[in-house]
Amino acid sequence: MSATMTRSGQTDRESRSSRPPRVAMVGAGQLARMTHQAAIALGVELRVLADSEADPAVTAGAAHLIGSPESLGDLQALAAEADVVTFDHEKIPPEHLSALEADGVLLAPSPAAKLFAQDKHAARRELSARGFPVPPFILAGTRDETERFGDEHGWPLIGKVVRGAYDGRGVFELSDLDAAVRALDEVGPFLLEPRLELRRELAVLVARSVTGEVAAYPAVETVQRDAMCREVLAPADVGHGLAEEARRLALDIATGIAATGIVAIELFETQAGLLVNELALRPHNSGHYTIEGCVTSQFEQHLRAVLGWPLGATDAVAPAVAMVNVVGPDDGSDPAARIEGALSVPGAHVHLYGKQSRPGRKLGHVTVCGDDLESARAAARRAAAALEGSS
Ligand SMILES: Nc1ncnc2c1ncn2[C@@H]1O[C@H](COP(=O)(O)OP(=O)(O)OP(=O)(O)O)[C@@H](O)[C@H]1O
Ligand SMILES: [Mg+2]
């Protein structure tokens, strides 16, 4: 630690004003890469903890430390001389976060808030205890518990690993009790819930600053395929009442759990109303559209929030914005080689993450702003299909 560090882990104001603010980010994937772009504009020094020199934020030029989020020593080295530590993923042992916090490191979000994104069961339990609407659930550990839940809610059910799931990896449909018992053998206790009839899936991004200031973005619709987010439509084509209810719910959750930075709240719209699916306490796929589609991108907003700077306006800059993910094609080919096809689509903003192509892997996204969702979506799909080689 430098001599100017106080016990709180924050450098004092005087030394901070004489040099750029320093933000450390655990993880160096596409979220860190796009945060790096925002950091350049704001004059913030971003330093990331990367698995390798090939990570998306590193190849984009972010200052970095090669190490593992599972190593407390590596996390401490990253935190040294940073004003605040934040995250591009969930895969940090909660006990390491508590150790850093006890050391006086400023973490945004705090370990207690981050747990809402790290442990699906703890999140459901806590949100439910605080009166937020969540799907029925149990932590299934035995055949009997599973059978009782199946009798009550009917098969098929949905099982989810409690920790470490993303992009639908770790979400599995269980057709009957035998399948559930096999899953118990394979993965141990898991979160069990009914397979819900979803009218739509919505997401609301909220920024909450370390000062407590909050700002919510408009509710968006997210479209998943194979449990992975593929498209985002902004604003969600729902009535004003439902959009406002979603926004209110998201603000109440972000404030209630004292989240800091960006928090994404994924919601299910069901016949019975809105249910909270899960939270992410970091920039999120549902907010990539904000780069071109809103006054303040989620990445800039995240930096403002973790540094305690004034938050930016969250308004959309166009009547409709569509974002389509670019996913690795089955033949393993690289979308980057087909970029010209996507760039020839008028209005298409292409983002490639510099990741090696693998089937089913998120490799980039395309955003189109327009006057109506239908045409913006069609154009974004055309550009994404050109990149994926499926047009
Ligand atoms: N109970 C359910 N009923 C119906 N569909 C569900 C249910 N739970 C999850 N899904 C579908 O699977 C998707 C992924 O689930 P979830 O968000 O819990 O997993 P994840 O892998 O953590 O997701 P992410 O892609 O956000 O990282 C949801 O967006 C939804 O489409
Ligand atoms: Mg999800």
| Ligand 1 contact, 135 CB (< 6 A) | yes
Ligand 2 ion local residues (Cβ < 5 A): 266, 278
Q: How many CA atoms lie within 13 A of 358 on its CB side?
A: 4
- Closest ligand to C-alpha of residue 270 is 1
Residue 53, pLDDT > 60, answer yes
Residue 135 Cα: closest atom of ligand 1:
1
To test the ligand 1 pocket, which listed residue (224, 269, 277) has its Cβ within 8 A of the most ligand atoms?
A: 277
Residue 140, pLDDT > 80, answer yes
Whether pTM > 0.85 for this model: the answer is yes
How far is it, in rounded angstroms, from Cα 78 to Cα 92?
13
Residue 1, pLDDT > 50, answer no
What letter represents residue 79's amino acid? A
From atom 19 of ligand 1, which residue's Cα is the shortest distance away?
Answer: 168
- pLDDT of 17 reads 72
Confidence of residue 16 (pLDDT cuts 50, 70, 90): low
CB 43 within 8 A of CB 20: yes
| Ligand 1 contact, 165 CB (< 6 A) | yes
Q: Residue 131: helix, strand or coil by DSSP?
A: coil
| Ligand 1 contact, 195 CB (< 6 A) | yes
Confidence of residue 262 (pLDDT cuts 50, 70, 90): very high
> Residue 24 forms beta bridges with which residues?
47, 85
Q: What would the pLDDT profile of 345-386 be if each residue is shown by its tens digit? A: 999 999 999 999 999 999 999 999 999 999 999 999 999 999
| Ligand 1 contact, 90 CB (< 6 A) | no
